[in-house]
Amino acid sequence: MKKLWQLRENAIKLRRLGWAYSEIQKKVPVHKITLSKWCRDIELTSRQIKSHGGRYANRLKGAKANCLKRQKEIIRIQKKAENEIHILTPYELKIAGAALYWGEGNKSHGLAFSNSDPELVKFMMKWFQETCEVPNKKIRAYLYLHTGQNEKKMQKYWSRVTNIPLNQFNKTILKKEGSASRKYSQDKYKGTIKIQVLNENLKHRILSWIEQFNFT
């Protein structure tokens, strides 16, 4: 194993040849901050600096090419996947909604579904109304927000998402922030909505559908 002074001499020699720190590290196994201290008095020529820029540009060009290649691959995968699932039949919609309720729905007290994803919430609203034939007047909404969020603004947002009238929104529940908690952006985080359906019999029907998912 080479002594420290030998490593230092090798590093200085390579730096004078115009090598970048990342290249020197492959020959001299020390931290970059150590290389910087050893070589701080070495001034590179304009040609050497230009060479570094060229290598960086080539690496950047290669990274962009790989990124573009990956994007094209993802588009190809997505187009292929579009043909793997057809438009769901009413029966398949019933199964899909029951599976989602299994994961996110209330199983014990009342019929309710909670989530913060607006697209998922839209799907479940459609499922309740069209598949389960729930009239809009039988639906209530609760919001779970963080302190500092604008309650009225969030209610209007979720009312647009769900088409639930504002007068059917019940008391909002505010989550108190701890000292180490993150700050939530109202532009991104819209809180969580709980959709409550006033139909106890339907809850038992849905739970019965879920019981049919027997994988054993």
Contact 22, 39 (CB under 8 A): no
Contact 158, 74 (CB under 8 A): no
Can you say how many angstroms the Cα of residue 78 is from the centroid of all Cα atoms in its chain?
A: 18
pLDDT of residue 214: 74
Q: Which residue ranges does the chain devote to CATH 3.30.1330?
A: 90-211
pLDDT of residue 33: 87
Angle 100-103-108 from CA coordinates, rounded to 5°: 110
Say how far apart CA 176 and CA 189 lie, in whole Å: 16
Judged against a pLDDT cut of 90, whether residue 20 lies above it is answered with: no
pLDDT tens-digit map of 172-194:
998 876 534 455 555 678 999 99
Judged against a pLDDT cut of 90, whether residue 205 lies above it is answered with: yes
Say how far apart CA 155 and CA 209 lie, in whole Å: 32
How many CB atoms sit inside 10 A of residue 172's CB? 16
Handedness of CA 125, 127, 133, 138 (dihedral sign): negative
Judged against a pLDDT cut of 70, whether residue 144 lies above it is answered with: yes
Burial 134-144 (b: 16+ CB within 10 A, else e): beeeebbbbbe
Say how far apart CA 152 and CA 141 lie, in whole Å: 13
pLDDT tens-digit map of 152-172:
999 999 999 999 999 999 999
pLDDT tens-digit map of 92-138:
999 999 999 999 999 888 999 999 999 999 999 999 999 999 999 99
Categorize the per-residue pLDDT at 42 as very low, low, confident or very high, splitting at 50, 70 and 90.
confident
Judged against a pLDDT cut of 70, whether residue 147 lies above it is answered with: yes
pLDDT of residue 179: 39
Could you say which of 1.10.3470, 2.60.40, 3.30.1370, 3.30.1330 is the CATH number of the domain covering 90-211? 3.30.1330
Judged against a pLDDT cut of 70, whether residue 59 lies above it is answered with: no
Q: In whole numbers, what is the pLDDT of the chain averaged over residues? A: 86
Contact 12, 38 (CB under 8 A): yes
Percent of the chain at pLDDT exceeding 70: 88
Say how far apart CA 83 and CA 164 lie, in whole Å: 34
